């Protein structure tokens, strides 16, 4: 599987990743690092406690990493949670609605990580 095929499979924006990273070698390096990062675990833990600061920080971290990698679906989903907990923003979602969005985001993140594992195994 090529890096472009991986991006197609995970619904990423390869062109965006190229604009940021410039080279396939760097995209490959950082996509692999995403799999081994703790950003998903941090977000899951924050969701268990519904700690507003931790939810903001972990969702913001995921948003940044995924934006740089051109993983727009993940970045946009993380952005919803980021903005829900950004200081000064009024809450618009119930805790149950946040938990649903968080569960969907984490499912998508885990699917992406699984695809990255398949990519690694094919190379």
If one counts the domains in the chain, the total is: 1
Q: Range of 105's domain?
A: 3-122
Place of tokens 């195994």: 121
**pLDDT 10s digits, 8-49:** 999 999 999 999 999 999 999 999 999 888 999 999 999 999
80 Cβ neighbours under 8 A, 6+ residues apart: 101
Specify whether the CB–CB gap between 66 and 27 falls below 8 A. no
CATH of the domain at 31: 1.20.120
Classify residue 94 by its DSSP letter. -
**pLDDT 10s digits, 43-73:** 999 999 999 999 999 999 999 999 999 999 9
Classify residue 32 by its DSSP letter. H
Give the Cα separation of 85 and 89 in Å (integer).
Answer: 7
Cα end-to-end span (Å), the chain: 7
């Amino acid at each position: 599987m090529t890096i472009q095929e991986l991006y197609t499979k995970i619904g990423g924006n390869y062109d965006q990743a190229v604009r940021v990273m410039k080279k396939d070698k760097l995209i490959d390096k950082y996509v692999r690092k995403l799999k081994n990062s703790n950003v998903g675990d941090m977000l899951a833990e924050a969701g268990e406690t519904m700690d507003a600061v931790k939810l903001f920080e972990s969702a913001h971290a995921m948003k940044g990493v995924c934006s740089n990698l051109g993983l727009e679906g993940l970045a946009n989903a993380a952005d919803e949670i980021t903005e829900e907990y950004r200081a000064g923003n009024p809450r618009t979602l119930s805790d149950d609605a946040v938990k649903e969005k968080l569960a969907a985001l984490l499912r998508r993140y885990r699917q992406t990580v699984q695809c990255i594992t398949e990519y690694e195994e094919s190379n």
